[in-house]
Structure 1
Amino acid sequence: MSRSFDMTDQAPAARGAQPAPLLSVEHLSIDLPGRDGPVRVVDDVSFTVAAGRTTGLIGESGSGKTMTATAIIGLLPPGAAVTGRMLWHGDDLVTMTEQDRRRLRGRGIGMIFQDPQAALDPTQTIGRQVGEILRRGGMPRKEVHRTVIDLLDRVGVPDPQTRHAQYPHQYSGGLRQRAMVATALAGSPELILADEPTTALDVTVQARILALLRRVRDEEGMAMLLVSHDLRVMAHVADEVVVMYAGRICEIGAGREVLNRPAHPYTRALVVSVPAVRSKTAIAEPLPGSPAGPAERPSGCPFHPRCAKARDRCASEVPRMRQVAAGRQVACHFPEET
Structure 2
Amino acid sequence: MTSQVRQPEVDLALLEIDGLTVDLPGPHGPVRVVDGVSLDVPPGTTVGLIGESGSGKTMTALAVIGLLPAGAETGGVLRWREENLLTASPARRRSVRGHEIAMIFQDPLAALNPGQTIGRQVGEIPRRDGKSRAEVRRIVIDLLDRVGVPDPATRMHAYPHQFSGGLRQRAMIALALAGNPSLLLADEPTTALDVTVQARILRLLRSVQEDRGLAMLLVSHDLRVVAHVADQVVVMYAGRVAERGAAAQVLRRPAHPYTKALVASVPAVRTRTALAHPLPGAPATPANRPSGCAFHPRCPLARDRCRSEVPAVREVEAGRWSACHFAEEVLGGA
User: Which TM-score tier does this pair reach, normalised by the shorter chain?
Assistant: over 0.9
SS at match of 1:94: helix
Match of 2:275 in 1: 283
Offset at residue 18 of structure 1 (A) = 5.5
**In structure 1, distance between residues paired with 2:48 and 2:271:** 23
Match of 2:84 in 1: 92
**In structure 1, distance between residues paired with 2:30 and 2:319:** 34
AA partner of residue 223 (structure 1): A
**In structure 1, distance between residues paired with 2:11 and 2:161:** 41
Match of 1:154 in 2: 146
Match of 2:35 in 1: 43
Residue number among 230, 234, 238 corresponding to 1:242 in the alignment = 234
Residue number among 103, 109, 130 corresponding to 2:122 in the alignment = 130
**In structure 2, distance between residues paired with 1:277 and 1:142:** 48
AA partner of residue 190 (structure 2): T
> How big is each residue's C-alpha offset from its partner over 1:168-188, in whole Å with a ceiling of 9 and x where there is no partner?
111000000000000000000
> How big is each residue's C-alpha offset from its partner over 1:223-251, in whole Å with a ceiling of 9 and x where there is no partner?
00010000011011111000000000010
Which structure 1 residue ranges, 5 or more long, are not aligned?
Answer: 1-16
AA partner of residue 140 (structure 2): V
**In structure 2, distance between residues paired with 1:180 and 1:38:** 33
**In structure 2, distance between residues paired with 1:326 and 1:128:** 48
SS at match of 2:204: helix
1:103 maps to 2:123? no
Offset at residue 205 of structure 1 (A) = 0.3
1:204 maps to 2:186? no
- The total of aligned residue pairs comes to 322
AA partner of residue 237 (structure 2): Y
1:225 maps to 2:220? no
Cα contact 1:192–1:222 (8 A) shared by 2: yes
Match of 1:9 in 2: none
Mean CA deviation greater in 279-288 or 297-306: 279-288
Alignment of 1:1-338 (within 5 A): 19-338=11-330
**In structure 2, distance between residues paired with 1:256 and 1:141:** 47
**In structure 1, distance between residues paired with 2:266 and 2:181:** 33
SS at match of 2:173: helix
> How big is each residue's C-alpha offset from its partner over 1:94-121, in whole Å with a ceiling of 9 and x where there is no partner?
1111111111111000110000000111
**In structure 1, distance between residues paired with 2:184 and 2:228:** 17
> How big is each residue's C-alpha offset from its partner over 1:41-69, in whole Å with a ceiling of 9 and x where there is no partner?
01011000011000111000110010000
AA partner of residue 204 (structure 2): L
**In structure 1, distance between residues paired with 2:10 and 2:222:** 24
SS at match of 2:244: strand
Match of 2:4 in 1: none
SS at match of 2:26: coil
Offset at residue 278 of structure 1 (A) = 3.9
Offset at residue 293 of structure 1 (A) = 1.2
Offset at residue 279 of structure 1 (A) = 2.9
SS at match of 1:57: strand
Aligned pair in 2 of structure 1 residues 220, 133: CA closer, same or farther (>3 Å)? Answer: same
CA RMSD, 1 decimal? 1.0
AA partner of residue 59 (structure 1): G
**In structure 2, distance between residues paired with 1:330 and 1:173:** 37
**In structure 2, distance between residues paired with 1:242 and 1:85:** 17
AA partner of residue 81 (structure 1): E
> How big is each residue's C-alpha offset from its partner over 1:179-205, in whole Å with a ceiling of 9 and x where there is no partner?
000000000000000001001000000
AA partner of residue 322 (structure 2): V
**In structure 2, distance between residues paired with 1:277 and 1:105:** 38
Offset at residue 325 of structure 1 (A) = 1.4
SS at match of 1:227: strand
Cα contact 1:18–1:50 (8 A) shared by 2: no
**In structure 2, distance between residues paired with 1:83 and 1:306:** 29
